[in-house]
Amino acid sequence: MLKPFILVFVILMLASCTAGDALFTQDNPAGFWYGLWHGVISVITLVIHLFNEKVLVYEVNNVGGWYDFGFLLGVICIWGGSSHVNCKSTEKK
């Protein structure tokens, strides 16, 4: 019974740290670590963005390449890159 409440709490906590926050400006852009975090929560942010246009998936006020690298690394960590392509068991029956 407690598990659904924990799940909702975790989703709300993740959504509170999404891209497009007023925290980042041209003078204070998002860096590598925020890019990594935004990449990790990108799936949840995308779903929220479908219903709320104020929530962005990608932070536009960023430092450039380092934010992009962190974002890409975060997405790869969640989706697994291409590591699932060759997951056949070598065990024979």
Q: What tens digit of pLDDT does each residue of 1-38 get?
A: 667 778 777 766 766 667 776 788 888 898 999 899 89
Flag whether 23 is in a domain: yes
Flag whether 92 is in a domain: no
pTM for the model: 0.71
CA dist 16 and 49 (Å) reads 13
Q: Which amino acid is at 24?
A: F
Flag whether 3 is in a domain: no
CA dist 74 and 40 (Å) reads 4
- Could you give the number of structural domains in the chain? 1
CA dist 78 and 90 (Å) reads 25
CA dist 48 and 54 (Å) reads 9
Q: Would you mind telling me the total number of residues written for the chain in this entry?
A: 93
